[in-house]
Structure 1
Amino acid sequence: MQTSATSHSKTATKSQTKKVSMFSQPIGVWAVVFASIIAFMGLGLVDPILPAIAAKLHASSSDVTLLFTSYNAVMAIAMLITGVLSSRIGMKGTLLMGIIVIAVFAALGGMSNSIWALVWLRGGWGLGNAMFVATALAAIVSMSKTGVGKSIILFEVAVGLGISVGPLLGGELGSISWRGPFFGVACLMVLAFLLVTLLMPKRSKSVPVTQASTASKKKASLADPFRALKFRALRTFGIAAALYNFGFFTLLVYAALVLGHLGLDEHQLGLVFLGWGLMLAFTSVFTAPMLQRRFGTLPSMVVQLLLFAATLFVMAIWTTDKTVVIVMVIVAGAFLGNNNTLITTAVMNAAPVERPTASAAYSFLRFIGGAIAPYLAGKLAEWFNPHMPFIVGGAFVVIASLYLLVNTKHLKHVDNVESAH
């Protein structure tokens, strides 16, 4: 009996060790995580300087929103080729190529003198980001020693830190010159290139045979993401993410323009979106897994989406109240962080396809929403009034949650798959 109790105690201790070992990773994982933080800075880095870019380059609000539209549109299309590229030149080669493209186009963006040149160059930046982001998650999963679920949370840590630090850095450098954030990213990507080159192994020898690792054994084709979308669960999450991104980018882009018009400078905007990003990072790591375990992925996701929609509707009512908009932006970060981790985990388990292929197919759909939303928000404000973009963004998020509920029976399996890991 004592031996049995001792054995049970050892098993329990091992189980507890596993629970706290998410950060016990090979050095190659940390190289990719750090590079991911820098890459995701690009998403929010331009945010605090949108009003300054509009003023310096004599552009309208809808013109500057195209900096996000071109970035996301190119990312959406480029996601379709990332699997083909990584299956031929390897994950490390694809990551490094993505880093180079980001650095080059960010530096060129800092040297541009017209809004239209900047819009095109941001598209090039999006190409590099697609190559990097789609591959980074698969690389972390394949090199990690802690399983798929914890690897995804680690990736979301990088996403959250990058998104939160990006606006702060953008605000600080942008207060010197609107060109500063572009040159700052170019320099940081040089550091990321060195880290990935020196610390990430070309091919991990200790990778367990999983979907993520077997993906590299066969050549991917351009048709793979489209074949993956035949699986209803994956397609449903992708469409829901496209709808939800209308709200996400309304918040990220249009709210920054509103706060700029209400008197916030680059530094102040950077601090507001730093608060937003920190909330996003915290909830994506700590509260999202708890919600998933207690209530399940789908119910948790629907509630978080509806709460996020509520923050957009509050901003729609009090659009001219600076304090309300600032508080709602920061609070929304909590709901977005929870939802990001929940949906990313669900997508990785949604269909019996290689994880890089699932990621590419899902990202293609979601970034289509991210491409349309910023420009639409700017135009809605011009066509109707400053409140309309928040109303429409919130409505799209509500539609996303209803769409998930309608397809509940096709999505329940994601929690069963996750519990197997």
Structure 2
Amino acid sequence: MGVGVVDPILPEISSALNASPGQTELLFSTYLFVSAALMFFASWVATRIGRKKTLLIGLAIIVTFATACALSGHVNLIIGFRGGWGVGNALFVSTALATVLGASADPRRAIMLYEGALGAGMALGPLVGGAVGSLSWRGPFLATAVLMAIGLIAIAFFVPATPIDTSRRRSAAEPFKAVVDSRLSILMAAALFYNYGYFTLLAYAPFPVAEASVRAGRQFTPLDLGLVFFGWGLMVALGSVWLGPRCCEHVGIRRTVTATLVLFTIDEIILATWISPIPQVIGVIIGGLFIGIINTAMTEIVMSASDIQREVASSAYSGIRFLGGACAPTLAGILRSVWGIGGPYYVGAVTLVVTIALMWVDRRHRMRRCAHSVALQ
């Protein structure tokens, strides 16, 4: 919920603090770049102090910096505090995935529930953000602090302490080695490009939606945007928990990913070319369904592609995901000024096409390795 709670107030912050859309997008990119950089070291921390302590420290940091954002009065201060927020996010997100996988005997179901929970949180976050953001742009930041405090208390009481196995400690370099591991490198590159396209929709969409409403002679409020992203998040959850697993079961996981990436590419092209309220709202919401399906399937593919320790694989994959996501809002302002309001979406569509190509290359490499291992036997 803490990720999406800020989405509906991006145009509001831009107006209230006299910030350009590019500056406002830095609220996302600073947070995501810091998260991405430190996620690579989350496994090093978790294997030394334990998963539970890592989760608690991460949430405590988020509570502190979300509160600082709410009390700030200048966009540059908020951008800086969002960087601190990203430190807590890095410790929490990658460790949470490893913790959920470690607590379940069925990795596929664990990943499905993990991505479904993310989708549900992203559905409720913008709704809360839109409601309190209608009162003040500071409200969503305070709401995030409260939500993260609830999460902290829940983990403190309900998540069992995790024993520290000194024999399983890993060096800080392990996640970087995982990124270039021959079994994972192409998939990591695919995740990087896919998350650029994904976060283009998540971080940039409020601005085209607001622009489309202005062109139609009305004004989208933070609550209106919250409702749009509530629908988007519901679709993410639906795709993660229900439609995605069924498609993977009946069609195959890689075919599901490829077909959904094609549909997502078409969706971003439509969003780039058709700047009017109904296509924008429908395009954003239906995009959530595609994202939910792809997120669950790609996470499963990456996490099962090698026998690398879960903390290490989770740190590497989470870091790459957030790095790709950080690039999207960082470049959105520049692309919009050069190619117009649809520019960021066109580039997002191109990155999705690159993702499709990389998934195909990875499949060919895996088929070749399997054939080689059979020949050796």
TM-score category by the smaller chain?
over 0.9
Q: Deviations over 1:223-277 (max 9, x none)?
A: 1112212323322222111111221121112211111232211000000010010
Using the TM superposition, give the Cα deviation of residue 107 of structure 1 relative to its aligned residue in structure 2, in angstroms: 0.3
Correspondence for 1:147: 106
**Whole-angstrom CA distance in 2 between matches of 1:235 and 1:367:** 16
Structure 2: distance between partners of 1:411 and 1:382: 42
Question: Are 1:200 and 2:159 an aligned pair?
Answer: yes
* 1:20-35 superposed matches below 5 A: none
Q: 2:262 aligns with which of 299, 302, 306?
A: 306
Q: Give unmatched runs, 5+ long, in structure 1.
A: 1-40, 205-213, 414-421
1:284 matched to which residue of 2?
240
Aligned to 2:90: 130
Corresponding residue of 2:374: none
Report the 3-state secondary structure (helix = DSSP H, G, I; strand = E; otherwise coil) of the residue aligned with 1:353.
coil
User: Which residue of 375, 391, 398 maps to 2:346?
Assistant: 391
Gaps of 5+ in 2: 214-218, 369-377
Query: C-alpha distance in 1, partners of 2:135/2:59?
Result: 25
Query: Is 2:2 the partner of 1:42?
Result: yes
Q: What's the TM-score once normalised by structure 1's chain length?
A: 0.83
Show the counterpart of 2:203.
Answer: 253
Distance (Å, rounded) in 2 between the aligned partners of 1:345 and 1:152: 7
- TM-score (normalised: structure 2): 0.93
Following superposition of structure 1 onto structure 2, how do residues 366-377 of structure 1 map, counting pairs within 5 Å? 366-377=321-332
Equivalent position SS for 1:233: coil
**Matched residue, 2:372:** none
Instruction: Work out whether 1:81 is the aligned partner of 2:31.
Output: no
Partner of 2:146: 187
- Structure 2 residue aligned with 1:338, among 272, 276, 293? 293
Percent identity, aligned pairs only?
A: 39
- Encode CA deviations 1:15-59: one digit per residue, 9 max, x unaligned: xxxxxxxxxxxxxxxxxxxxxxxxxx1221111000000001100
1:326-350 residue CA offsets vs partner (Å, 9 max, x unmatched) = 0010111111100000011111101
1:224-243 equivalence runs, <5 A: 224-243=174-193
Is the 1:298–1:412 Cα contact (8 Å) retained in structure 2? no
Q: Work out whether 1:60 is the aligned partner of 2:20.
A: yes
Q: Name the CA distance, whole Å, in 2 between partners of 1:402 and 1:110.
A: 42
- Matched AA of 2:133: G
DSSP 3-state at the match of 1:58: coil
Is 1:232–1:410's contact at 8 Å kept on the other side of the alignment?
A: no
**Partner amino acid, structure 1, of 2:244:** A
Contact 2:52 2:159 in 1 (8 A): yes
Letter in 2 for 1:268: D
Structure 1 residue runs of 4+, over 6 Å off?
none
Aligned to 1:274: 230
Verify the 8 A CA contact 1:238 1:363 in the aligned structure 2.
no
| SS at structure 2 position matched to 1:232 | coil
Q: Hey, what's the Cα distance between the residues in 2 that align with 1:191 and 1:384?
A: 43
Q: Alignment RMSD, CA only?
A: 1.8
User: In the alignment, what sits opposite 2:79?
Assistant: 119
Shift of 1:215: 7.2
**1:201-234 deviations in whole A, cap 9, x for unaligned?**
1137xxxxxxxxx977421211111221232332
